[in-house]
């Protein structure tokens, strides 16, 4: 897709997701519990996508490659090695923010 308001329906029906390494795309896919191959755009300057992809890969949540290695990654992948992404804990962030702002 070039652009779509929400990919929630497609994600629910997917067996595997191949995506760029944007934070929203990665987190939405991982929160849905779907296996994810992150394809990094190496041409971006100050590449925060690369940093995120590498960290998620190091933590065992995604497979990571560049465009030229995608076919090889698909042929050799073992999705059983991927670890589930832990659910968010917004209440911890709220407590931290309350403390910082002085509400506690």
Express each pLDDT in 72-96 by its tens digit.
Answer: 999 999 999 999 999 877 787 788 7
| Secondary structure class of 51 (helix, strand, coil) | helix
Residue 26 has pLDDT above 90, yes or no: yes
Task: Read off the DSSP letter of residue 79.
Answer: G
Residue 33 has pLDDT above 90, yes or no: yes
| Secondary structure class of 102 (helix, strand, coil) | coil
Residue 30's Cα: distance from chain center in Å?
6
pLDDT for 4: 79
Distance CA 94, CA 29 (A): 24
Q: CA-CA distances (angstroms) from residue 96 to 11, 61, 84, 99, 100?
A: 31, 26, 25, 5, 6
Residue 45 has pLDDT above 70, yes or no: no
Task: For residue 11, count other CB atoms closer than 10 A to its CB.
Answer: 18
Answer positive or negative: Cα dihedral of 12, 16, 21, 27. positive
Q: What would the two tokens of residue 16 be? A: 């595997």
Q: What are phi and psi of 34, to 5 degrees?
A: -100, 145
Residue 1 has pLDDT above 90, yes or no: no
pLDDT for 32: 94
Domains in the chain, CATH or no CATH each: 7-101 (3.40.50.2000)
């Amino acid at each position: 897709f070039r652009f779509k308001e929400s990919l929630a329906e497609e994600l629910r029906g997917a067996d595997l997701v191949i995506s760029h390494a944007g934070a929203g795309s990665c987190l939405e896919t991982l929160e849905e519990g779907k296996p994810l191959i992150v394809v990094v755009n190496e041409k971006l300057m100050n590449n925060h996508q690369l940093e995120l992809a590498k960290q998620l890969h190091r933590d065992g949540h995604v497979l990571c490659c560049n465009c030229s290695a995608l076919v090889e990654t698909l042929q050799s992948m073992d999705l059983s090695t991927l670890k589930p992404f832990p659910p968010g804990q917004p209440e911890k962030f709220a407590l931290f923010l309350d403390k910082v702002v002085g509400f506690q």
